[in-house]
Structure 1
Amino acid sequence: MRQLGLLMIFVTLFLFTCLPGSAKAEEERLIRVGFDKSLPPLSYLDKNGEAAGFDIDMIRKIATLHGYQIQFIPLEWEDTVSQLKAGQLDLVVGMKYTSTRDTFFDFSDSYLTMADALVVPATTRDITGMNDLRGKVVAVQRDDAGISQLESIRGGKMLLAFSQPDAMDMLFLGRADVFLGNRWTAEYVLQKANVQQDYRLRTGLIPPSDYAFAVREGNYELLNKLNEGLEELHQNGTYELLYSQYLEPYNALAIDWWRKLVYGLLVVMGLVVIVLAGSFLWNKRLQREVRIQTAALADSFAFQRKVLDSVDNGILSFDQTGRITLINHAAKKLLGVENRQAETFVRDCLPQLPVQEALKLGERNILEGELRLGDGTGRIVYYYIATLSNSLGAQVGGILCLQDRTEQKHLQARLIAQEKMRALGELVAGIAHEIRNPLTAIKTFTELLPKKLDDTRFRAELLEHVPEEVARMNRIIEDLLDYSREKPVQQKWEKPLDLVQSVMGLFTKRIESEGIRAVVDISPEWVVFVDRDRIKQVLINLILNAIEAMADSQEKQLTIQAKQDGKKVCLAISDTGSGIAREEYLQMFQPFYTTKSQGIGLGLYISQKIMHEHGGEIEVKSEMGKGTMFLLQFCEGGDC
């Protein structure tokens, strides 16, 4: 018992001696960092009220390297200076170095060198230097280092603001003639207010200053850690990343005086070179000029020939008669004229190409399209014809660009067939269900045939129903075959109701198994001039998309209804699915765009293409969480 008591006393003494020291150590690792809360992009409070900016991220990285805990204290700038003097802060970020401040604080190594900028309205032309600020009202931040320079200007007036964005607002409101302050902050505010074109930013008029971290006088331990951290950030590339993230986006408005000087010198030098070159050319003999121009023309022609022969597309030029004047290697290979004669015409290679029609259209019009080569290879070529004019504007011929799209067309056809087969696979269950019903009826009559062969009523029903069920199976199989095979467009008058009912029959089993309520409201009297098989393909794609969109919906309803709008019949296919996001509208009819894990993105593209072949349109309306409606527009009973 005595030993237990001694042990408790020892533990108690240990805790009293160790824990306060640990707490003190934790406190020593905490640094209080003050910053200007309205100096973007260097230091500011973001939309969540958190400290952000170039200076803030710099001190965060340094604190992480040395294991410091940071307490950020957002303040007005003049308060940061006064609180650092009073010892209420350990560190202030982004302080401009001056000899006066150096007597109160210790500064780290400089991590940014920048000159203050002047911002003036674009209409102001009488301010080109600091002396021009006489008689002007200058908006500036309180306790800014630039105030000392303004005080030396006779007749100048200052409007003091708590922050640099507030000083910019004084300029915007017309209370000040000029703003003086941080260049990056000025560019940030101008871009945010979208008034860059209304103001000019003048730099290079004020000597640049160094920006650094300021600590209390004599805090050399923290100062050394800051300098070590800055060196590490430079070496590991972190400084460059932060600079690019925060400061480079706001350099667009800066046009320094030395850059203007360089531009001016370049213009002067250019004028001098032009004058000298002109004098030189005027004093040369005609024969030498001819030789120079001929050599330059030969070099240019050789370079053009090399460039033309390096591209994959066929390019050739021709004169007004259609005679080929220039042709690259790809065009020779495509047209099979590697060993062409001196006089070769476009019509000899491509007789079906409308060359003369293109020449009649003039220089502002072009012809383009696709054609199939007549060389027996079956290759498909995209062509582009434009006219050529000389320096006087007179038409001298044309240029023809050719691109072999055979492989692209074959790949597109294979992908379209693959998309059709994918949709076809979705129909198998419904088709099997539809075929099973007539088979069951035929089987029933067959089983009863031996027993009721002599029954007159039975034979009558047999002769009536069995052929009808066989015809029903035949229709289902024909619909399936029509969907899977390619046929030319064959338009005739069809009833939209018949088309919808024939397609809905393929999905009967799936609609029933997924608990979908199907509503069809179409007048049986309306007719449209369409290709039955292709429009059925459109309906299959849209109905299949609607069923898949309602997979996770609580209320599942598929509605197909039609209405007449003048000479048009509009067929609407609506679902109560998840809907389509607004950003997907512009891409949903593009080929190969899909949001399905198993799709290839050709269903809606094919549907739109089929509707355009019929002179119709397909539109979509959707609302997230409420469903989607596809609207098909057809001509009814005649021309639209």
Structure 2
Amino acid sequence: MKKLAFFLLIIIMLGSLIQFAYAENKPEAVNDNKRMLIIGGDKNFPPYEFVDDDGEYRGFNVDLMRALALELGVEVKLQPMEWLQAHRALQSQEIDAVQGMNFNKQREEIYNFSTPFLLNSSVIFVKKDTENISQLRDLMGMKVAVQRSDAAAYILAEIGEIEVMFFSDLEVAFSELTANRIDAVVGNRLTGLHIMKQKKLNNMKIVGGELNQTDYGIAVKKGNEELLKELNDGLQRLKKNGTYNKIYEKWFGKEDVPPWKNLKYITNLLFIVLLVTGSIILISFKWNQSLKKKVILRTQELDLINKELETKQKIIKDSDEFKQQIIDSLRVGLITFDKQCRVTALNSMAESIFNINRTEIIGKSLQELGLNEYFNKEDIDNCIEYNKGSSMEERVFNIGGREYIYSYLISPLEGNLLLHQGGVLTFRNITEEKKLRDSLAQKDKMQSLGRLVAGIAHEIRNPLTSIKTYIELLPTKYDNRKFRDNISLQIPQEISRLNILISDLLDYAKPKKMKKQSFLLNELIINTVELFKVEFDKNSVNIAINCDSSLTIYADKQQIKQVVINLLLNSAESIADNGSIEISGFETSDKTYLVINDNGKGIDEKDADKILEPFYTTKSNGTGLGLSLCYQYIKENDGEITIDSKKGIGTKVKLVFNKKDREVCGYEQSTYY
């Protein structure tokens, strides 16, 4: 089993190496839509940039430019050339940038440089077993190799007594060092690291500090700030995502920090710590002497402060007890809870309602106490998670074997104190109020029913008159075939018409449990308007219905019908003769709208904010529950109602429903009455 696992690991590693090699050498895709940058560079400056034996342009700068192009989403065209030719090409703007250049004062007068991504310097290379060389002066009397045109030769010459030997490149110099024909090599640190990595020269090391340090980065034409900013941003992202480090280690490898550097750092740090500690001890001693003189005075001051604190604590305690007395005097139940849904406070009314003791339940969760069954869990979660309060809701509380109706409200705790977050539950017993409201609602419904019956009576007389006429003529015209055909056709029609009217009346009058269904809105509107056609005709009220016949809503049909009846009756009462009511229905992607608009006398501005409140009415014989019931029914069906009214202009009522279970029907043109 272990052999199989080892074999699979080898296969995975080989696959990764092949994929990496392919990614390193695959040709760049050309995208005609991308901006092209022309980048110049030295064609013979390994490992920074060079053309290898196969004619491929390679090196640290080459890989960095290609990675930078991918990061910026541009194409780059890399042009290897002689170093002086690269300078001339950038100055004449034949190229956009030079991919790598040492900074100096003369160049900064004609070029702008990117954020430096390398620090070029010269260092001393020796064999690992060399013990007597740690700085430049240790090279006196020795043979030291440098690269031609390297500034390190001038540094060695200033020291003197060093035999300097020049070589064409560091690779040859390292060969001489390995063969013990020279004692040390002084040259470019990164170039030397690259050669050591490529040639696997594990018997060499770097000693001493860095010499002639110079910043190194991308050069652009003086004044090309836009390109410079773009390149700097890209370099920053490459360093942040680790791409730069991978390219650096590929060409220069990881550097080993000499142990003596760490030792020197630790020694210096230890010295600083000892110095600071001694200073602190000395200062502390003198400070303690002065503090002793102040301790007695401060102690006396603290005694006075403690007495003041005791007085303030007593005031706070009295204040807390007074606040608790106020809360306990409220005739509503109150419970507060934190972000973990644990009870933090409650008043005596809540204790009485749920038969609990506050000293025993503080800190316990609502679920643990069984209180979550009385309230909507979603409202509590919204308060805790989103700091969102709930609208007033009604629930049946089963307490002591009896059912009570309570209304409750959940509100988030407001303020900036992070220690106190959560919500407040307030609730009160509305059992008697609910009974009174239902009684008044029934009274209001019966008043509406009386008006509806008055309209239906006329409709009933018409078919009864037709039936009576046919029956009276039956003995004398029975032998008339046309008469028999008419009586066979029309009497069933009139009876059917009577049956429909009576069914609608029963549907309206008989209370039912809420039953949601998908139904055609246009059909409900037409049937409802038909019930009041006689009264509308009597008062010359023009009714216009403009509603797509396929428009459906998902709600309790009888409740919506009663809402429409109440709104039509209100509109009919508010308009004068020859007035008009427009009923329109339309939909959006997620909502269905029903709008009833009249040109009646409108609502006074002082009454506008109160018309949906229970028991508020401007009618001498009204109960104030008509619009309140409309509001209640719409809310029970997950809808919204808004009323826009202006005195002397008219009223516009908008009902909004969520889309559910839509049905597909045909389209019917507007109908006018």
TM range (shorter): 0.3 to 0.5
Question: TM (normalized to structure 2)?
Answer: 0.44
Question: TM (normalized to structure 1)?
Answer: 0.46
Computing the radius of gyration over CA atoms, which structure comes out larger, 1 or 2? Answer: 2
